Chains A and B, each alone.
Chain A
Amino acid sequence: EVQLVQSGAEVKKPGESLKISCKGSGYNFSDYWIAWVRQMPGKGLEWMGIIYPGDSDTRSSPSFQGQVIVSADKSITTAYLHWSSLKASDTAIYYCARLQWELLYLDYWGQGTLVTVSS
């Protein structure tokens, strides 16, 4: 069974750093891109970027470039989203999802990680 399990909710202060994770299982993690999607409180879905764990190739939305770093460690089948300096506007639920490259759809989703940034 394909599963993406994300790390738990975080409460941080502005300026702090954070890394959240997404662990894949039930499939060959290295062979599928992982996408990250943001959902701000009460808002819609925003595509942030994707990473191919096999070689760490990435594609990012210009809206998020320079704001957050996407990485992966295929040896432990885990993808990450990392902020070096959080802002209050980073408060959101962050989802990871598996991207089917040939058909380009997001077929399996993590449960989401709620990040709250508040002083």
Chain B
Amino acid sequence: DIVMTQTPLSSPVTLGQPASISCRSSQSLVHFNGNTYLSWLHQRPGQPPRLLIYKISNRFSGVPDRFSGSGAGTDFTLRIRRVEAEDVGVYYCMQATQFPHTFGQGTKLEIK
């Protein structure tokens, strides 16, 4: 299985300041078709996860443009340009290049 490792596991941030989360995979996420199936999800307490970013850098419908994704191969980053109160919760990266699909362990974003 591909292991997804996120850092940090916890990130206290000040409202209005930027935040970034890293995700590293144990092997390249480039599919034989040339695409990289790396997505980011956000889970608020007591709610199901929701999709933010797919294929490294594509924002899902309705996701604010303060969220952006980047990376290639085995190293990926989610950035929040200016953190808002509603951004608290846990962020997960997920790879779907190879079965079984796998999630990172999650990064908890908290407000200082």
Task: Write the residues of chain A forming the contact surface with B, with a CB cutoff of 8 angstroms.
Answer: 35, 37, 44-47, 49-50, 59-63, 95, 97, 99-100, 103-107, 109-112
Contact = CB atoms under 8 A, between A and B. Distances in A.
Interface residues of B, number: 25
A44 B60 contact: no
A105 B51 contact: yes
Given A44-B92, A46-B103, A104-B55, 5 more contacts: A37-B49, A47-B103, A95-B49, A107-B60, A109-B49
A100 B61 CA distance: 14
A50 B94 CA distance: 15
10 contacts: A47-B103, A61-B100, A63-B100, A100-B54, A103-B54, A105-B96, A106-B39, A106-B41, A106-B49, A106-B94
A106 B54 CA distance: 9
**Could you say which of A37, A60, A105 has the most chain B C-beta atoms within 10 Å of its C-beta?**
A105
A23 to B, nearest CB: 15
B92 A45 contact: yes
Secondary structure class of chain B's binding surface, majority of residues: loop
B103 A109 contact: no
Nearest to A4: B48
Contact of B105 (A44, A109, A112): A44
Contacts of A47: 94, 100-103
B1 to A, nearest CB: 7
Contacts of A99: 96
B25 to A, nearest CB: 14
Q: Which 8 A-B pairs have the closest CB atoms?
A: A104-B96, A61-B100, A105-B54, A109-B48, A104-B37, A44-B106, A45-B103, A47-B101
Nearest to B97: A104
Contacts of B103: 44-47
Contact of B48 (A49, A60, A112): A112
Contacts of A104: 37, 39, 54-55, 96-97, 101
